[in-house]
Amino acid sequence: MINQYLLLDGVQYEQALIRLYARDDDLEIEPLYAGTPWQEVADLGPVLVKPGPHSELLKELTREPEWHVSTSLLSSPAPLVDVATHLRQLNKVTDAVGNPSLLRYADPLVAWFWLNSYGAASLRRILGPVTEWRLAEPHQSWLPEQDHQWHAFISTEATDGKAVSVLGQAQMSGLKKAYSWQLKERLYTWLKQHQPADLAQIAAEELNTWFEEHLSGAEACGLISERSIAIWCALSLRHGSDFSAAHDGAYQQWNAHQSQPLYTADQRLQQYYQESV
């Protein structure tokens, strides 16, 4: 018998435990931070749910968009306790040089890039008792609305036998792509609020390329903080992509007349923005 499980991300599905326990529904609920050092924030962590035969939760999953950005659908012949035990190995992971971190594997966006970074044998190891891990393919918010496309991660290969909780370089690259996607979404939301007319000058289908180019430009100029990157994008929209390099431009003229040196690229750009906007 194949069991169906929902894997919820407590950050994306706000107040997950309160909402789940408040339902008049046939559910087994297992917070995956329970019994771990992160038990006090279990509501913000991954939550594994097994709907019973009379539950309406699986029907809701297919029709309500909130579930698509917060929930994956897992299939497994194993009981809840075995699936939970396997997934808990992913709570804390280490990279190739031994740096530890928490992995947001229950966030469908993170899981999309993370699971796509594995080959078949490695994916089989990550899936463990899970035979299929289904989630909605990410959709950029500035593109026209469309029905979510569900993708199933499966592998019939023999496992490679490596540790589940160790990430290789491919996984680190995948997680970096997930962060970049999230950053672009936050930048889009901020620019839409503060510079809607400027933003509207870029066609929706060209926005991803525009963001990629300007994130690369910000990195090349030594910008580190997300606030500085947002300012970089805002000024590029308003004054053109060469606003920082033009010798006769306002930024270079301002920079040349500073009596007190500002030592980092972040300091210089943020101070200029504060004085000029």
CB of 232 closer than 8 Å to CB of 269: yes
Nearest to 133 by CA among 114, 147, 118, 154: 154
Q: What are the tens digits of pLDDT across the range 124-170?
A: 999 999 999 999 999 999 998 877 789 999 998 888 888 899 999 99
Tell me the C-alpha distance between 84 and 238, whole Å.
50
Q: How far is CA 218 from CA 100, 252, 265, in A?
A: 28, 16, 10
CB of 271 closer than 8 Å to CB of 263: no
* Same-domain check for residues 149 and 261: no
- Which residue intervals of the chain are DSSP H helices? 16-22, 57-63, 65-68, 80-88, 108-115, 120-127, 169-194, 196-199, 207-220, 226-239, 250-256, 265-276
Q: Tell me what pLDDT residue 271 has.
A: 82
* Same-domain check for residues 203 and 249: yes
Nearest to 103 by CA among 27, 172, 191: 172
Last residue in a domain, options 122, 149, 176:
176
Extract the tokens encoding 191: 């620019």
Considering the domain boundaries, does residue 155 fall inside one? Answer: yes
* Same-domain check for residues 218 and 246: yes
Q: Tell me what pLDDT residue 134 has.
A: 96
Question: What SS3 string covers 47-72?
Answer: EEEEECCCCCHHHHHHHCHHHHCCEE
CB of 131 closer than 8 Å to CB of 86: no
Number of domains in the chain: 2
Q: Tell me what pLDDT residue 249 has.
A: 64
Domain that holds residue 255: 195-276
Considering the domain boundaries, does residue 189 fall inside one? Answer: no
Considering the domain boundaries, does residue 188 fall inside one? Answer: no
Q: What are the tens digits of pLDDT across the range 204-223?
A: 999 999 999 999 999 988 99
* Same-domain check for residues 204 and 171: no
* Same-domain check for residues 36 and 131: yes
DSSP codes, 195-216: -HHHHTTS-GGGHHHHHHHHHH
Considering the domain boundaries, does residue 186 fall inside one? Answer: no
Say yes or no to pLDDT of 247 above 70.
Answer: no
* Same-domain check for residues 222 and 124: no
Say yes or no to pLDDT of 47 above 90.
Answer: yes
